[in-house]
């Protein structure tokens, strides 16, 4: 019986990331991945029971790990408008650092956009990262609404609107060939503008 190792699992994810980027979700196959890895399909399925699960692992590792980290660092015991603003700004900065400076993550995003209309790649991508971070952020906002710190609206919609504002000024990068990295100062300025606009609309009336 072969022993599964974390190093082998990571090697599979890295090789699969390259294959998905080259061939797209539909074009990539476990057969081709096995050839590249110099092993068998049985070994791959021992780690990942399906291509869908393997793709999800690639997304979580390469493209949405920053969302997991940002979500994990988001305090659940925030009290006060100022503390909420600081927490959301930190959350936004963690998001943008990877979205603007990680070429591998950007490549996966581009592949997902290209595949979204003809495969399940888009939904798999969403389920492997953005949906979870939206739920956690919505929970934080819901608590702030209950305390009267921000206006009462649909918390999930508000969470989506905040992340959309954070990424609004950099969304075009996904369509650019080789966008330059952004400095920490630039990222902070982008997020500050997004947070200002968000909280301007969320002030209790």
* pLDDT surpasses 90 at 116: no
Q: pLDDT of 132-166, one tens digit each? A: 888 889 999 999 999 999 999 999 999 999 999 99
b/e burial code for range 169-178 (CB count within 10 A of at least 16 → b): bbeebeeeee
* pLDDT surpasses 80 at 13: yes
Q: In the chain, which ranges are continuous DSSP H helix?
A: 6-27, 30-37, 41-47, 51-58, 65-72, 81-101, 103-115, 121-127, 130-146, 155-167, 184-202
Residue 1 in any domain: the answer is no
Q: pLDDT of 26-45, one tens digit each? A: 888 999 999 998 888 888 99
CATH number at residue 13: 1.10.10.60
Residues 133 and 69 in one domain: yes
Q: Tell me how far apart the alpha carbons of residues 157 and 159 are, in angstroms, rounded to a whole number.
A: 5
* pLDDT surpasses 50 at 1: no
Q: Tell me how far apart the alpha carbons of residues 181 and 80 are, in angstroms, rounded to a whole number.
A: 34
* pLDDT surpasses 60 at 108: yes
Residues 96 and 168 in one domain: yes
* pLDDT surpasses 90 at 200: yes
Residues 84 and 177 in one domain: yes
Residues 74 and 37 in one domain: no
pLDDT band at 186 (very low <50, low <70, confident <90, very high): very high
Cβ neighbours around 156 below 10 Å, total: 15
* pLDDT surpasses 80 at 55: yes
Global pTM reads: 0.76
The total number of structural domains in the chain stands at 2
């Amino acid at each position: 019986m072969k022993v599964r190792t974390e190093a082998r699992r990571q090697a599979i994810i890295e090789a699969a990331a390259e294959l998905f980027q080259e061939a797209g979700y539909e074009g990539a196959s476990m057969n081709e991945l096995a050839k590249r890895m110099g092993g068998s399909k049985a070994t791959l399925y021992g780690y990942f029971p399906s291509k869908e699960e393997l793709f999800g692992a690639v997304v979580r590792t390469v493209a949405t790990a920053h969302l997991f980290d940002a979500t994990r660092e988001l305090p659940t015991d925030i009290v006060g408008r100022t503390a909420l603003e600081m927490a959301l700004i930190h959350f936004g900065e963690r998001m943008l650092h990877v979205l603007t400076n990680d070429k591998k993550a950007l490549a996966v995003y581009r592949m997902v956009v290209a595949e979204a209309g003809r495969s399940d790649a888009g939904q798999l991508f969403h389920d492997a990262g953005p949906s979870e971070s939206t739920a956690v952020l919505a929970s934080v906002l819901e608590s702030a609404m209950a305390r009267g710190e921000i206006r009462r609206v649909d918390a999930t919609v508000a969470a989506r609107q905040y992340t959309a504002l954070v990424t609004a000024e950099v969304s075009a990068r996904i369509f650019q060939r080789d966008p330059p990295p952004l400095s920490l100062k630039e990222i902070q300025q982008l997020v500050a503008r997004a947070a200002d606009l968000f909280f301007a609309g969320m002030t209790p009336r």
